[in-house]
Structure 1
Amino acid sequence: MSHATLLRQRFHELLGNIESFIRGKPEAVRLVLVCLLAQGHLLIEDVPGVAKTSLAKALARSIDGASVRRVQFTPDLLPSDVTGVQIYVQASGSFEFRRGPVFANILIGDEINRASPKTQSALLEVMAERQVTVDGDTYAVPDPFLCIATQNPIDHLGTYSLPEAQLDRFLMRIPLGYPEEVADEMTVVADGLARRRPEELPPVIELGDLQKMIRVVHELHVSEPLQRYIVVITRATRRHPDVRLGISPRGSIALATAAQAHAVSMGREFVTADDVKAVAVPVLNHRLFLTAEAKIQRQTPESVVQDILTSTPVPRSPVRR
């Protein structure tokens, strides 16, 4: 069995285990795993009741040895409730750092837009640098570290919109949507009647195996023509007539790393233009901002990205090493 085939097999073991609970959403589940392998973070934006939190829990349960913490974001949540706090220990006469929930392999942040901007910003350093600084001391979070945050785009009462700087820390933003097939929703109802929970899923891979897969993703070859293709796509967003703020170079890097992880999920040892196209919309849709006129005409970031993908020539040079 080749190295690429083994990696694809491990990926599909994870995929199948999660899909045994999250029905009818194979593409969303694949993108969650792509985020994990690319060591990015994921924002799931959709209405209540479509299994946003259950998806995150199903992923966490599928990895043996992975630590998982969950935070319910509320307006009164403090930054120290997320990152941790220094506590004075009378017995020793010194301060001791009590670690917050960010010290986990997978952090589930429910309804992140309900927290105050100050608490939201507490996540910025840990999401970008994978470390927490408290009173001048730096503490590294576990490796790997994935933040899966959820928010409801419909209910704006008592919420604080995520600023551009925080949105940019998420590798992808995806919806889940309702089940497309009647049979899938019937299975969801049957699981609910049986009181089945994502915590009951068995683990299918070890944490060490996941770390090896992540290292392979980092080493995957991205040819120079394909790097140019990525840059042409992101630069096109800065000139698009419907866009007032285009993609930054950080977005170009995000698109390249996500394409690497997608290639691994397909069992390839190199990245192709198809990998870039497969992840372009979820990676870029939250990083560009439309003009007022485009919004009036009901344009969306997703439609702009698709328009750019359609008009950008695919590199003809070989993409394999």
Structure 2
Amino acid sequence: MTSTKSPESAHPLEQVLFEVKRTIVGQDVLLERMAVALIADGHLLVEGVPGLAKTLAVRSLAAAIAGSFQRVQFTPDLVPADLVGTRVYHQHSGEFRTELGPVFANLLLADEINRAPAKVQSALLEVMQEHQVTIGRETFKVPEPFLVMATENPIESEGTYPLPEAQVDRFMMKVVVDYPTQAEEQAIVNRALRPPEPPQPMVTAEDLIAMRARAQQVYVDPAIVDYAVRLVSVTRSPATAGLGELERYVTYGASPRASIALVTGARALAFLRGRDYVLPHDLAELALDVLRHRLVLSYEALADDVDADTIITRVLGAVRAPDVVLQNR
């Protein structure tokens, strides 16, 4: 399969997103964040009620990049072997053979991830971080590019297992998907009345790997790195930015992984928009998605109806963005 748009072009994923939009109505932020995660080699945690096309978005993106797609419905009786694979004894040959699980795909949808027990969570943790799976004494690499998109249902909490903080921190971003507008919902219904056209492959996995290499050449000014570190630091100690009234709401702030995710995500976003340099606006635009799941709030925040987005918005307003001088750019 040859790419219809060279990765050397100014907007390498423009046609991919356009092709996905032929199937998906709205959800612009989700689709853009999925593209950012692919370029930045990250993973997505998505929160939204059922019926908002989360599964269709991942499936369509996989088709548009000529990649493989797998969906796993997480349930309380799921075991790690159902996810990563196991060794199976074949009686006719008298030997064990390794059967690989559904994680061996370019895009993996972990549906309602918080319904699986701790053993399954730890199995997914290895493949998210190391891009490999250990079965018995053998280690198997997952295909590249590799993206895990996990969903959470905010409505039902009965029978769920809270995600360990170590695993939540592995997700580059958490995107909150809202209901479509009335006009978008009318378009959704109209499209449902006729047979859907399957998305056509626009790029290949090799093209995406080449794009990742190009995205790593996007210039990141030292002031941008300092801005990211200052933002994350204030989530741990709001009083340092004159937000002392928020101290009682934050038990633990974001980890250094948040600083890394902010900078690498902003670099991928700049590349996606055809720039070879990062602006402070790129960091500010991704701040909510990168930080909201990394803050551990106190019981006082719950009692006062203060959520992570409110705190992060206050932090963005209190931390001054740098005046970046981009010489020769």
TM over 0.5: yes
> Scaled by the length of structure 1, what TM-score is found?
0.93
CA distance in 2, matches of 1:164, 1:107: 21
The partner residue of 2:261 within 254, 257, 262 is 254
Tell me how many residue pairs correspond in the alignment: 314
Q: Whole-Å Cα distance in 2 between the matches of residues 73 and 260 of structure 1? A: 32
Change (3 A) 1:127 1:40: same
Residue of structure 1 in register with 2:290 after alignment:
283
1:203 corresponds to: 201
Matches within 5 A, 1:214-293: 214-240=212-238, 241=247, 242-293=249-300
Q: Is the 8 Å Cα contact of residues 230 and 255 (structure 1) preserved in structure 2?
A: yes
**Does the C-alpha gap of structure 1 residues 320 and 308 become closer, same or farther in structure 2, counting only changes over 3 Å?**
farther
Query: CA RMSD of the aligned region, Å?
Result: 1.8
For the pair 1:183 / 2:183, whether they are aligned, the reply is yes
3-state SS of 1:143 partner: coil
- The question of whether the paired residues in 1 share the 8 Å contact of 2:7 and 2:207 is answered with no
Q: Distance in 2 between matches of 1:51 and 1:69?
A: 16
The answer to whether the Cα contact below 8 Å between 1:233 and 1:308 also exists between their aligned partners in 2 is: yes
Runs of 4+ in 1 over 6 A off after TM superposition: none
Please give the secondary structure, in 2, of the residue aligned with 1:147: strand
| Structure 2: runs of 5+ lacking an equivalent | 1-5, 239-246
CA distance in 2, matches of 1:130, 1:235: 29
Q: What SS class does the counterpart of residue 159 from structure 1 fall into?
A: coil
Q: Which ranges in structure 1 are unaligned for 5 or more consecutive residues?
A: none
Q: How much does 1:227 deviate?
A: 0.7
The answer to whether the 8 Å contact 1:223/1:320 transfers is no
* Structure 2 partner of 1:6: 9
Closer, same or farther: CA 283–319 of 1 in aligned 2, 3 Å: farther
Task: Give % identity.
Answer: 41
Check the 8 A contact 2:132/2:141 in 1, yes or no. yes
Give the partner amino acid of 2:261: A
Residue 212 of structure 1: how far off its partner (Å): 1.1
**Contact kept? 2:50, 2:153, Cα under 8 Å:** yes
Q: Give the Cα–Cα distance (whole angstroms) in 2 for the partners of residues 4 and 143 of structure 1.
A: 17
Distance 1:190 1:158 in 2: 36
Superposed displacement of residue 36, structure 1: 1.2
Please report the TM-score for the alignment, with normalisation by the length of structure 2.
Answer: 0.90
5 Å matches for 1:105-144? Answer: 105-144=106-145
Equivalent position of 1:46 in the other structure: 48
Residue aligned with 1:219, SS:
coil
SS of 1:86's partner is: strand
Aligned partner of 1:165 in structure 2 is 166
CA distance in 2, matches of 1:144, 1:7: 21
User: How far apart in 1 are the matches of 2:299 and 2:40?
Assistant: 33
Equivalent residues of 1:53, 1:150 under 8 A apart: no
